[in-house]
């Protein structure tokens, strides 16, 4: 009898089949294969939910599906699945968001004259299948392969409208910037194999377990560190893999591709930001957290860059005019919070925020898509206004997502974001100044988040219409409203899955996600985790008793302050651009702190000249030496070849002359003659 875990590969295969179907016969299917994609992702969602129920007691399932290289002296290379509470949770998130995006696309991609719909739905199917394959991968090499496939799909979908100038450029930028980070990821994969002889995530022979044993002195002889101290070498490996995470999850300084990626269709943006491309990076850190927990330096780097990214991206969201641009910088900032939580020792808190963010950010992007449809594809918020009465379903669901994003109680973002900040502060009070600095940056970002979020709401939906299109917007259909309603309910309620502050104050057992994920550390024992964080990583049990009330109140107060400032400035009939008063500061922030220009300068002013010097060195010196040696050999050979006449008498004469020359030479050197 087939069990639910045996159907795990089907979760991936169904979207992949929809990809093949749309690619092969999409032109002959209704809506270019949309219904096939909806059916496939709906089937995957049902199996994913059943799988999540099956692992609710902490059960872990692993299976090798295919061995593609065996009998090697060092490693065996395999494809397999790993189903545990973490991957089961992510499977539900990815399949649900993908399912709703497919439904939403029926209403968004139905403009007359729209071409390439089979290509669009084929891309969605492959994108979903790639991310699902990444989620269930049981080893790092398999994860890397699907990681790259996710990047390819994002390139294809961001550049879907390739006949326009913007999308192809944005697609190339996304592909190249993330490839830069993936270069380090690939080196990290090789280093893992060279160090441990395995890339498995789970089990006593996995690389996190071997690394843990090596640090505890139990398996040092089976782990190669190439002359480095084990702690330092594991940190180097972790930071190399982190390069891919920084690129995919758009963390500073490799965040510049994500705002440009808004050139793609809005449903694609929702899928990228909520459940696939950008989520892949932070999910990888969560999957490898048993390994990262062994390195205090790697965790500190993750936390610091997460807090810094959260703050910098939030400031950029304050001045943007386009609604999708605001949401793009919001995504960068929120994934910064997730990285802050992971680096701050809050594994469950960060994973919790990954889940809540997936729902409220998918809601906000799809809500923005509804607005864009109504506005005939106008994205400038200063041309909107007054849409509250015209689009009531979009408005109320969008406000729900905005309250969750800003972290207003009791919406989902409040519980997850505040738990991230609380865990970081708690571990930072152990004397870790880097964590305290990261916490401070994350806390300041809360104010900016509240401000830019409700600036976006008031400019879009409140006040008087500021254009003819806003006065007479287009109506949206049920295939737009249904996904918004479902995501709106999730954005309002999923925070109740892990109400840590209430649990600490009342003693009630309402930390459901903590119980769900307590077995999520693949390769590490649950009992050893607290000891590991304290003794090895320097985080954990400090004896400090810190009530969550005061940190939560400060965070909520900052979010409300941002909301009230936006209310004061923009909830008026005719708002004005108050940010213009910032002058040159606004110009700098609006231009993303000139990060694009800086990176172009590095490429053209430093990397390219260096590459030219290296090319000249290669061609002039290295190739010159090689060509010179070969030239001497060819010249000598051409001269020696002339004595090969094929005439016996010539060979006899040469032998005689050679022997005579040899005897004369010996006589001159030895002073005697035979």
pLDDT digits (tens, 9 = 90+) for 431-488: 789 999 999 999 999 999 999 999 999 999 999 999 999 998 888 889 999 999 999 9
Poorest-pLDDT segment among 145-149, 150-154, 265-269, 580-584 = 580-584
What total of structural domains would you count in the chain? 3
> What's residue 74's pLDDT?
64
Rounded CA-CA distance 224/465 in Å is 66
Region for residue 7 given its phi and psi (left: phi exceeds 0; alpha: psi -120 to 50; beta: otherwise): alpha
Task: List Cβ neighbours of 451 (8 Å cut-off, separation of 6 or more).
Answer: 318, 562, 563, 565, 566
> What's residue 477's pLDDT?
87
Pair (23, 71) in one structural domain? yes
pLDDT over 70, % of the chain? 93
Does any domain span residue 646?
yes
Q: What is the mean pLDDT of the chain?
A: 87
Print burial letters for 596-614: b (CB count within 10 Å at least 16), e (below 16).
eeebeeeeeeeeeeeeeee
Pair (336, 481) in one structural domain? yes
Pair (545, 611) in one structural domain? no
> What's residue 528's pLDDT?
42
* Residue range 489-546, pLDDT digits in tens: 999 999 998 887 777 777 777 778 877 776 555 544 434 444 444 443 444 444 566 7
Pair (629, 569) in one structural domain? no
Does any domain span residue 200?
no
pLDDT confidence tier of residue 136, bands split at 50, 70 and 90: very high
Q: Which domain holds residue 97?
A: 1-138
> What's residue 534's pLDDT?
42
Poorest-pLDDT segment among 189-203, 425-439, 601-615 = 601-615
HEC assignment per residue over 503-538: HHHHCCCCEHHHHHHCCCCCCCCHHHHHHHHHHCCC
Pair (602, 572) in one structural domain? no
> What's residue 518's pLDDT?
67
Rounded CA-CA distance 434/428 in Å is 7
> What's residue 59's pLDDT?
81
Does any domain span residue 49?
yes
Pair (526, 638) in one structural domain? no
Of 120, 138, 156, the domain-final residue: 138
pTM recorded for the entire structure: 0.88
pLDDT over 90, % of the chain? 57
Of 138, 156, 174, the domain-final residue: 138
Task: List Cβ neighbours of 467 (8 Å cut-off, separation of 6 or more).
Answer: 378, 383, 384, 385
What average pLDDT score do residues 14-26 get? Answer: 94
Poorest-pLDDT segment among 32-36, 171-175, 257-261, 427-431 = 427-431
- Asked if residue 387 lies in contact with residue 539, where contact means CB atoms within 8 angstroms, the answer is no
Is pLDDT above 50 for 307? yes
3-state secondary structure of 390: coil
Does any domain span residue 589?
no
> What's residue 31's pLDDT?
83
What average pLDDT score do residues 326-333 get? Answer: 95
Pair (617, 475) in one structural domain? no
Does any domain span residue 391?
yes
Poorest-pLDDT segment among 12-21, 414-423, 638-647 = 638-647
Greatest mean pLDDT among 223-232, 512-521, 553-562: 553-562
Of 117, 138, 159, the domain-final residue: 138
> What's residue 69's pLDDT?
75
HEC assignment per residue over 219-286: CHHHCCCCCCCHHHHHHHHHHHHHHHHHHHCCCCCCCCHHHHHHHCCHHHHHHHHHCCHHHHHHHHHH
Rounded CA-CA distance 585/588 in Å is 5
Pair (10, 121) in one structural domain? yes
> What's residue 533's pLDDT?
44
Does any domain span residue 220?
no
């Amino acid at each position: 009898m087939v069990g639910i875990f045996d159907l795990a590969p089907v979760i991936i295969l169904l979207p992949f089949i929809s990809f093949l179907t749309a690619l092969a016969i999409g032109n002959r299917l209704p809506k270019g294969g949309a219904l096939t994609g909806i059916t496939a992702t709906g089937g995957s969602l049902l199996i994913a939910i059943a799988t999540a129920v099956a692992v609710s007691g902490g059960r872990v399932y692993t299976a090798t599906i295919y061995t593609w290289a065996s009998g090697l002296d060092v490693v065996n290379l395999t494809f397999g699945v790993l189903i545990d509470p973490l991957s089961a949770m992510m499977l539900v998130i990815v399949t649900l968001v993908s399912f709703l995006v497919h439904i939403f696309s029926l209403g968004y991609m139905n403009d007359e004259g729209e071409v390439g719909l089979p290509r669009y739905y084929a891309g969605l199917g492959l994108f979903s299948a790639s991310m699902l394959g990444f989620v269930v991968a049981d080893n790092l090499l398999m994860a890397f392969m699907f990681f790259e496939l996710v990047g390819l799909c994002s390139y294809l979908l961001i550049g879907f409208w390739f006949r326009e100038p913007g999308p192809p450029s944005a697609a190339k930028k996304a592909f190249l910037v993330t490839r830069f980070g993936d270069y380090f990821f690939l080196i990290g994969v090789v280093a893992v194999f060279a160090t441990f002889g395995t890339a498995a995530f789970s089990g006593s022979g996995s690389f996190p377990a071997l690394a843990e044993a090596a640090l505890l002195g139990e398996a040092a002889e089976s782990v190669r560190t190439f002359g480095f101290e084990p702690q330092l070498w594991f940190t180097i490996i972790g930071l190399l893999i982190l390069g891919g995470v920084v690129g995919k999850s758009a963390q500073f300084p490799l965040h510049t591709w994500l705002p440009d990626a808004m050139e793609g269709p809005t449903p694609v943006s929702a899928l990228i930001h909520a459940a696939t491309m950008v989520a892949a990076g932070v999910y990888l850190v969560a999957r490898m957290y048993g390994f990262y927990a062994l390195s205090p330096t790697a965790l500190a780097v993750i936390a610091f860059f997460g807090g810094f990214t959260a703050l910098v991206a939030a400031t950029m969201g304050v001045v943007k005019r386009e609604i999708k641009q605001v949401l793009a910088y919001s995504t960068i900032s929120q994934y910064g919070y997730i990285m802050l939580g992971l680096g701050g020792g809050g594994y469950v808190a960060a994973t919790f925020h990954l889940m809540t963010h997936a729902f409220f950010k998918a809601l906000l992007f799809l809500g923005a898509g509804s607005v864009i449809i109504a506005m005939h594809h106008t994205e400038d918020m200063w041309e909107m206004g007054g849409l509250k009465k015209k689009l009531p379903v979009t408005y109320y669901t969008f406000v729900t997502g905005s309250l969750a994003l800003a972290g207003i109680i009791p919406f989902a973002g409040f519980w997850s974001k505040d738990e991230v900040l609380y865990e970081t502060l708690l571990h930072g009070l152990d004397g870790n100044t880097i964590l305290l600095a990261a916490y401070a940056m994350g806390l300041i970002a809360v104010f900016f988040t509240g401000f830019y979020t409700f600036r976006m709401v008031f400019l879009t939906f409140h006040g008087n219409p500021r254009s003819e299109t806003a006065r007479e917007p287009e109506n949206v259909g049920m295939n737009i409203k249904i996904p918004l309603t479902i995501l709106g309910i999730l954005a309002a309620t999923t925070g109740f899955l892990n109400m840590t502050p209430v649990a600490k104050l009342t003693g009630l057992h309402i930390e459901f996600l903590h119980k769900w994920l307590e077995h999520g550390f693949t390769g590490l024992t649950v009992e050893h985790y607290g000891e590991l964080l304290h003794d090895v990583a320097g985080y954990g049990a400090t004896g400090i008793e810190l009530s969550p009330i005061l940190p939560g109140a400060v965070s909520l107060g900052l979010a409300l302050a941002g909301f009230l400032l936006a209310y004061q400035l923009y909830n008026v009939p005719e708002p004005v651009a108050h940010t213009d008063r910032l002058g040159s500061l606004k110009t700098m922030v609006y231009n993303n702190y000139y990060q694009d220009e800086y990176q172009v300068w590095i490429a053209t002013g430093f990397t390219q000249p260096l590459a030219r010097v290296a090319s000249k060195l290669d061609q002039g010196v290295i190739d010159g030496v090689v060509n010179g040696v070969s030239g001497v050999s060819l010249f000598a050979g051409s001269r020696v070849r002339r004595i090969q006449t094929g005439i016996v008498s010539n060979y006899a004469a040469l032998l005689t002359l050679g022997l005579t020359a040899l005897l004369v030479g010996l006589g001159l050197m030895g002073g005697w003659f035979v």
